[in-house]
Structure 1
Amino acid sequence: MYSNLSLGALGLTADFPTALELAAKHGFGGLDPDVGYLRSLGGTTEVQRVAAEVADRGLRWGMAGLPVNFTATAEEFSTQLAALPDHIELLVAAGVRSVGTWIRPMDEDLPYRRNWLRHAGRLALVAEILAGAGLRLGLEYIGPKTFWSTERFPFIHSLAEARELIAETGADNIGLILDTYHWYTAGESVADLRSLSVSDIVAVDINDAPADRERDSQQDLDRRLPGTTGVIDLQGFMSVLRDLDYDGPVKVEPFMKSLAERPIDDVLSEVSGQLDRAID
């Protein structure tokens, strides 16, 4: 596995050339692609040049976002699906191998089974398009009870449910985005992770939780840097990834507004060190 820089996940902003410089400077193993920047380059040749520059810096790509909303109206979903091939073309030209999104864990109108059928059908359609380009899709379940309980019908918010949904699609290019925060808030254990194979995992996010809240009171957008409070069993989580020989990206996603108030070099030096300690 390798440490991955995702400025957006840290609440930081910079243009892609600056992000590339920062990733190399602070010893990250990879960085997320910026599709908007790639599109601005105007053609495949320039996209491939940027990809070569990333590789020359000793960096790998992380995961790109999936520009499809699985809870959109039928008309909106159809429009997003039609636009997906152009998005994929950029990613393929750059050598990006995976895209990811999250599963909204509740719905105000659709009961669980109807929401399940909607997601399974739409996921299968998207997975088929991605498979034609050799791309994998990572799905992230969302664990905090304070989030999934806010609308009338709770939906998928656990590892077991996410795996069942993926199996329902019949697609072999869909896997999981594992996040320590959602693993913890879903009440899951190392034993749950040990039921996975390495092919089940597309990407990994790590973080910690505030120590002054019980598990069911944790807020999705208020986390901590990994290993700083000890609420989440990061060591146990990472030990499973090592045992599986997971070789994908690992990024930090703390949702801490205070990080943007600090010098960016200081933040990235700290985050890079935390990732290195977690991965080693």
Structure 2
Amino acid sequence: MINRRTLLKSLALGTAALPLGSAFAATTPKAETQFLFSLNTSTIRGQKLSLPEIIELAARAGYDGFEPWMMEIQGYLETGKSLASLKKLASDAGLRFFDCIGFPTWMAQDAAKSETGFVQMEKEMGILAELGCPRVAAPAIGTEAPLDLMQAGEKYKRLLELGRKTGVMPQLEFWGAYPSFYHLGQAMAVAAAADDKDAKILADIYHLFRGGSGFEGMRMLDGHAIDIFHMNDFPADIPRLEQQDKDRVFPGDGAAPIKELSEVLKSKGGEIILSLELFNPTYYAMDAEYVITTGLNKMKRFF
């Protein structure tokens, strides 16, 4: 009868004899995390500035890039200007297109609505590719609860294939107050079901809180799973389920454990984009340059 010590010794020797490609390789040390700072244009939407004006302000404030919404890009094109001119504006200002916010219904359970969403997503990815924007947010617009997470994973896999075709990769996004897709755990399940090396999750401080995810789950995502992270904070004096997008405040001005979260993100390694995304009407009444400069400075307190 083989005793435990003999068995362990045999297993160790057997593993050592395997070809190099047969055993798990030694873990490669992670590169130091590099943070880039982005402005989501929703932060100063109330000031009703044009995209060229936003680009000028973001560059002057010291951002590395920005995150426009598709409706703003379409509005720019409707003035008769071209994608090439918009790309040049950003390039001349030293800003990168980090990501774009759009709302195609690619994940919808209704087959016709889902197909329409894929067609729209491909069209919008083409626009973003011309701008040199490598990412697009992919929320669960058009879905209803309960959501079959395995089926959603199959659709996300298809969307990732479309992303590789166009060069614009979809970032799976969940919203804390959205009935069908509100929790980090759901996003992780869909990403896992896609079984794809390019799967990414776009998380947000407000949405992690509002949907009840909390922040400890972020420890389970390594740097490969996160390209971009939305920065904001939430007030302590409004019950969680009553909070709305408009209640978001500057990072560090609310109750979020941002110092602890910053340590988690710093441990990921690689490049992570921190994008300031606010919808606060109080800030909309302020000078736009003051708002975005203040927001950038408050992010840099932690990163």
The bucket for the TM-score relative to the shorter chain is 0.7 to 0.9
Work out whether residues 35 and 91 of structure 1, in 8 Å CA contact, stay in contact via their aligned partners in 2.
no
Partner of 2:37: 3
Work out whether residues 149 and 186 of structure 2, in 8 Å CA contact, stay in contact via their aligned partners in 1.
no
Aligned with residue 234 of structure 1, among 219, 240, 258: 258
Please tell me the residue identity of whatever aligns with 2:74: G
Structure 1 residues 161 and 8: CA distance shift in structure 2, 3 A: same
Structure 1 residues 197 and 270: CA distance shift in structure 2, 3 A: same
Structure 1 position 202 matched with structure 2 position 227: yes
Structure 1 position 98 matched with structure 2 position 135: yes
Work out whether residues 177 and 204 of structure 1, in 8 Å CA contact, stay in contact via their aligned partners in 2.
yes
Q: TM-score, normalised by structure 2?
A: 0.76
Structure 1 residues 164 and 118: CA distance shift in structure 2, 3 A: closer
Work out whether residues 208 and 228 of structure 1, in 8 Å CA contact, stay in contact via their aligned partners in 2.
yes
Q: Which runs of 5+ in 2 are unaligned?
A: 1-34
Structure 1 position 129 matched with structure 2 position 165: no
Structure 1 residues 129 and 239: CA distance shift in structure 2, 3 A: same
Shift of 1:20: 1.0
Please tell me the residue identity of whatever aligns with 1:139: L
Partner of 2:63: 28
Work out whether residues 97 and 135 of structure 1, in 8 Å CA contact, stay in contact via their aligned partners in 2.
yes
Work out whether residues 30 and 60 of structure 1, in 8 Å CA contact, stay in contact via their aligned partners in 2.
yes
Aligned with residue 268 of structure 1, among 282, 292, 298: 292
Q: Output aligned runs, 1:82-121, within 5 Å.
A: 82-103=119-140, 107=144, 110-112=145-147, 115-121=148-154
Shift of 1:232: 0.3
Q: TM-score, normalised by structure 1?
A: 0.81
> In structure 2, what is the Cα distance between the partners aligned to 1:139 and 1:194?
18
Q: Which runs of 5+ in 1 are unaligned?
A: 149-153
> In structure 2, what is the Cα distance between the partners aligned to 1:85 and 1:106?
19
Aligned residues: 264
> In structure 2, what is the Cα distance between the partners aligned to 1:48 and 1:186?
39
Structure 1 residues 223 and 203: CA distance shift in structure 2, 3 A: same
Please tell me the residue identity of whatever aligns with 1:132: K
Aligned with residue 79 of structure 1, among 91, 111, 116: 116
* Bigger-Rg structure (1/2): 2
Shift of 1:29: 1.4
Partner of 1:213: 238
Q: CA RMSD in A?
A: 2.8
Aligned with residue 201 of structure 2, among 167, 171, 176: 176
Structure 1 position 51 matched with structure 2 position 78: no
Structure 1 residues 139 and 84: CA distance shift in structure 2, 3 A: closer
